[in-house]
Copies of this chain bind each other. A is one copy, B any other.
Amino acid sequence: MTGATTSGELRPHNLARLLRAAHDGAGRATRSELTRGLGLSRGAAAVLVADLAEARLAEERPAPQRARGRPTAILGPHPEGPLALAVDLREDAWTIATAEIGGDLTVREERPHPGNPPEIALGGLAAAIDRHLTELGSRVVGVGVALPGPIRDGRVVDIPHLSWRDVPAADILRADATPIFLGNDAALAGLAEARRGALRGVAVGLHFHVDFDLGGTLLVDGSPLRGARGTTGEVGHMPLGGSDLPCDCGAIGCWALQVGANALLRAMGIPVEPARGRAEALRILDGAAAGDPRCAAALDEVARAFGAGTAALVNALDPQRVTLSGLGVRLHEEAADTFQAAYETGLMAFRRDEPPPVLPAALGGDATLVGASELAFDAFLTPEGLTAWQAAR
């Protein structure tokens, strides 16, 4: 959003700002709060709200009264308003949900998939997406898809755990003219955290999602840092831990190898198989909690690598806060001292006075879906997006 240049662009621009603010307010923001927050006059707000209602983009409903004075209304989703289709594709299953303005999710379908070949796995998902698009009609303004691997140019994905290479996921999944957006699952979980979780309002935040291995993103002003080719936040693929293991990604000694379920197995001397071992890893964590010294040693080793790498990234990127999701929460909590010691040792001296706090993510398992829906809405909640919607009604 570069901002309006002509008086004619002012209205669509402010319309988008208002609807975006209502969306960010999670369907709880009142008209008077929004008006004040955006620096609008009450007159301008009245016109904009009327426009939104007429275009079926939003609707006002009564707000619980707080103080004295004439009551205001909550600006929330319209029953026939825009929807984002959010898709979370994991190694073994996928979920499809819808989100309305304000971010409320409704899960619509959830199914396992074979994983390979990618055409089959994605083909089934594409058919399901198509079905939901048909059912929902023109209300769907975009499809956001979370994928567990790096994405190039917004189209192509590699998923090492499934041996997917150069899979043109966007082309396979694209149903009709509905725009489709792909995002890395860890980046989208971070995005969700930045918009509706523990990184809300944080100018620079770092999020790590730990599952089989580790993914992460830097969130700048509420959006993941986008690289030149759209590959966000592969911070796990730096050799931060001095290991010399070869990584599926093709590089050597990647930090991602040292943090996650697979790293726990490796530390216990258990062979690592693709896309297995999540249950085994949980058992190791439980063992450590129960006092098993071998499990505790493995947890310690992983937590140390986790803390040290976090410190390195904090040194380089200077975030205000670090959040964790997936296995990361337990790794951090159940080896808190080890993590903290490695974290503080790795920090530059001047950062040790006030190290950025490391916190569990506020959103639960829905984070990835929330992020996927935000990705789709981001393209819609713009002057252009809303103008197109208005023109189509």
Contacts and interface: CB of A to CB of B under 8 A. Distances in A.
Contacts of A347: 250-251
A301 interface: no
A4 interface: yes
Interface stretch (A50-58, A70-78, A315-323, A365-373): A315-323
Interface in A225-267: 225-235, 237-240, 242, 249-253
Given A5-B39, A6-B10, A346-B252, A204 B233 contact: no
Given A5-B40, A250-B348, A317-B227, A312 B239 contact: yes
A13 B315 CA distance: 36
Contact of A227 (B3, B165, B319): B319
A72 to B, nearest CB: 21
Total copies of the chain = 2
B350 A150 contact: yes
Interface string A1-15: 111111100100110
A345 to B, nearest CB: 7
A345 B252 contact: yes
A15 to B, nearest CB: 12
Contacts of A312: 237-239, 251
A13 to B, nearest CB: 7
22 contacts: A3-B13, A4-B13, A5-B17, A6-B10, A202-B228, A220-B220, A227-B318, A227-B319, A232-B318, A233-B316, A234-B318, A235-B316, A237-B315, A238-B238, A238-B312, A239-B346, A242-B242, A250-B349, A251-B312, A251-B345, A251-B349, A252-B346
Per CB-CB distance, the 4 closest pairs between chain A and chain B, nearest first, are A3-B3, A227-B318, A250-B349, A228-B320
Given A230-B318, A237-B315, 18 more contacts: A4-B5, A4-B13, A5-B13, A5-B38, A5-B39, A7-B10, A152-B350, A165-B350, A204-B228, A228-B321, A232-B318, A234-B315, A235-B316, A237-B316, A238-B312, A239-B312, A250-B347, A251-B346
